A and B are shown apart, each in its own frame.
Chain A
């Protein structure tokens, strides 16, 4: 029997260990914040930090248990994700991150046009004419639906300001 080449990727155990540690760090931050807010008893009953303090404690305990159980529950060679799959995931994460970063500066409509345009041109390999058509039509449609019909204001940028909105 010919063995198929094993797909490669980050090992699941290590990624899950990282996630569990991350959760524990989060719990520690919450612990610190709760102590800052006061953990004991005040005149109005339990202080503001009382509840979050014990919550964070529970998270820590649970994280320790989860960390220990990783070796038992996850097979040694199990992959968290294949590199190829991760690349596909990144093709969404990276443009979306840039999109989210742009929104406060360019307004949501311009940023959306760029996002749709990027997806269609880079990943979909459409012609410029189709790309331009869709990536301009959709934000325009959204503008009409949200701003005019539902009266929900969305962040605008220099282009909209220039047009007088």
Chain B
């Protein structure tokens, strides 16, 4: 099969010495980022993105995706040891992970978390290997209306499936679109929404928004809780690792179910966070030990971690194949691809085979390397959090500023980073979701372009979006996703009540 041949060729690329070194560096940085608050997955990748400008695109994306893995793994460390979720998708891991640590079973919890993550991510990468080329081939037939329909589906899924009130999601998303529209209009070459300010010529870069909203904003939120991290100590000795590994296969049903949940939610823009919660909730309801969840039940760690990593990984599938990122971090990676002049989407599989398969091969390797690195280095990473907050906080702020500056070599961007930071703090506290905002900034221009091209060819008629079976069904799916909460409510009301 052509795919296997491509994959092996990809391995040949990924196994070059420079790329292997880059993988190690990436994973290491990624775990540190995942462990430190304020430097989350999306933010960390955003800050380190400009560093990769001097590398070839293939090496750069390998490093960035390894940073992504590292961050995925790192979030679990702080969740278990310090009850501080390093990432939003590690929140569910704290429910059972921290109690386990408090009972002295930190090594067990961490091993379970890392191994589950590994399995979840591996499952998703295999799915990507098999399905992505098919999706890409299919998507090559997409014209502007179909492309817009896919974006429409993505955005509607956010509104319909997020836990925040739909009108706040809509507001956040639209703010993102509006911010993305500032600057040069790609279709007419006209300047818009700049009001005469030369600094706004280049518009608002999504990287600045990410660093500000997710980085500075996160730090400000953390500040409310005070100036220190308190937590347990940890070491993982090999005996605990093997003992836990022997125990894990017992939960293969939970694992498989979580993989499927994760992949499904990762491919749709729902993402890793809802995947982890959903998986935890379902596992709790379906497990024999459901009532022990929340008190240190190992299954309560396996379920969310597997799902979160499967989701985080499979979020890369729509990014690669369709050009629609499934998560904020995937959005940053997409932005990176655009900066290097690569067009994510079905053509990538045709024109840049080496790049795509090198990346996919590095996902396998990065996953394995990541597992090895975290299992051996947990005490080191945990020690980082012991660095007093008053030393590490300003250093994080400095790195955020460097990240913001290095995007366009502009100090105005550093100012904007701070503005976004305060904005992120206010919005989060008022329950506005930030992920749709970032996605809209990244995708806004492309979605608008597809929309306008469609309208151009249809002479202004919106009917073009329902003109054939394919585009019509994608739009219909989008509308269903948008109104899902109402539909779900109606469905439950129709179901007969169980007899008491």
On A, residues with C-beta under 8 Å from B are 15-16, 19-20, 23, 26-27, 30, 33-34, 36-37, 41-42, 44-52, 55-56, 58-59, 62-63, 65-66, 69, 73, 80-82, 85, 88-89, 91-93, 95-97, 99-100, 103-104, 108, 112, 115-116, 118-120, 123-124, 126, 134, 138-139, 142, 146, 150-155
B165 lies within 8 A of chain A by Cβ: yes
B residues in contact with A151, CB < 8 Å? 54
B460 lies within 8 A of chain A by Cβ: yes
| A76 CB, nearest partner CB in chain B, Å | 16
Give 25 CB contacts A-B under 8 Å. A16-B430, A37-B193, A55-B178, A56-B174, A58-B170, A63-B171, A66-B167, A88-B224, A89-B223, A89-B224, A89-B425, A92-B393, A92-B397, A96-B421, A112-B394, A115-B397, A116-B394, A119-B394, A120-B391, A124-B388, A124-B391, A139-B398, A152-B51, A154-B402, A155-B411
**Cβ–Cβ contact A66 & B418, under 8 A:** no
A13 to B219, CA, bound (A): 23
A47 to B181, CA, bound (A): 13
B241 lies within 8 A of chain A by Cβ: no
Give chain B's interface secondary structure class: helix
Considering only residues 426-469 of chain B, those with a C-beta below 8 Å from chain A are 426-427, 429-430, 448, 451-453, 455-456, 460
B422 lies within 8 A of chain A by Cβ: yes
- Of B181, B225, B394, B397, which one neighbours A55 at CB under 8 angstroms? B181
User: B182-190, B255-263, B292-300, B359-367: which one contacts chain A?
Assistant: B182-190
B395 lies within 8 A of chain A by Cβ: yes
| B395 CB, nearest partner CB in chain A, Å | 6
- Of A51, A66, A97, A155, which one neighbours B451 at CB under 8 angstroms? A51
B252 lies within 8 A of chain A by Cβ: no
| A123 CB, nearest partner CB in chain B, Å | 5
- Of B178, B191, B226, B452, which one neighbours A59 at CB under 8 angstroms? B178
| B144 CB, nearest partner CB in chain A, Å | 11
Counting chain B residues whose Cβ lies within 8 A of the other chain, the interface size class is 35 or more
Most buried by B among A27, A80, A93: A93
A97 to B177, CA, bound (A): 27
B residues in contact with A41, CB < 8 Å? 460
B318 lies within 8 A of chain A by Cβ: no
B415 lies within 8 A of chain A by Cβ: yes
Give chain A's interface secondary structure class: helix
Most buried by A among B224, B390, B429, B452: B390
**Cβ–Cβ contact A52 & B192, under 8 A:** yes
B405 lies within 8 A of chain A by Cβ: yes
A42 to B220, CA, bound (A): 46
| B185 CB, nearest partner CB in chain A, Å | 4
A residues in contact with B409, CB < 8 Å? 153
B residues in contact with A119, CB < 8 Å? 390-391, 393-394
- Of A26, A47, A154, which one neighbours B178 at CB under 8 angstroms? A26
**Cβ–Cβ contact A81 & B224, under 8 A:** yes
A118 to B460, CA, bound (A): 59
A161 to B76, CA, bound (A): 44
**Cβ–Cβ contact B227 & A88, under 8 A:** yes
Further pairs besides A45-B187, A99-B401: 9, Cβ < 8 Å: A15-B430, A27-B178, A85-B224, A89-B224, A92-B219, A92-B397, A103-B401, A103-B405, A112-B401
User: When A124-B391, A142-B402, A146-B402 are in contact, do A99 and B397 touch as well, CB less than 8 Å?
Assistant: yes
A142 to B414, CA, bound (A): 17
| B459 CB, nearest partner CB in chain A, Å | 9
**Cβ–Cβ contact A59 & B174, under 8 A:** yes
A89 to B192, CA, bound (A): 35
Q: What residue of chain B has the Cβ atom nearest to residue A80's Cβ?
A: B429
**Cβ–Cβ contact B401 & A108, under 8 A:** yes
> Interface readout for B377-417 with A: 1 if CB under 8 Å, 0 if not?
00000000000101101110110011001100101001101
B127 lies within 8 A of chain A by Cβ: no
B50 lies within 8 A of chain A by Cβ: yes
- Of A49, A69, A100, which one neighbours B415 at CB under 8 angstroms? A100
| A48 CB, nearest partner CB in chain B, Å | 4
- Of B193, B391, B401, B427, which one neighbours A52 at CB under 8 angstroms? B193
| A16 CB, nearest partner CB in chain B, Å | 5
A145 to B150, CA, bound (A): 42
**Cβ–Cβ contact A65 & B167, under 8 A:** yes
A16 to B427, CA, bound (A): 9
**Cβ–Cβ contact A45 & B223, under 8 A:** no
| B499 CB, nearest partner CB in chain A, Å | 34
B residues in contact with A51, CB < 8 Å? 177, 181, 448, 451-452
**Cβ–Cβ contact B429 & A81, under 8 A:** yes
B373 lies within 8 A of chain A by Cβ: no
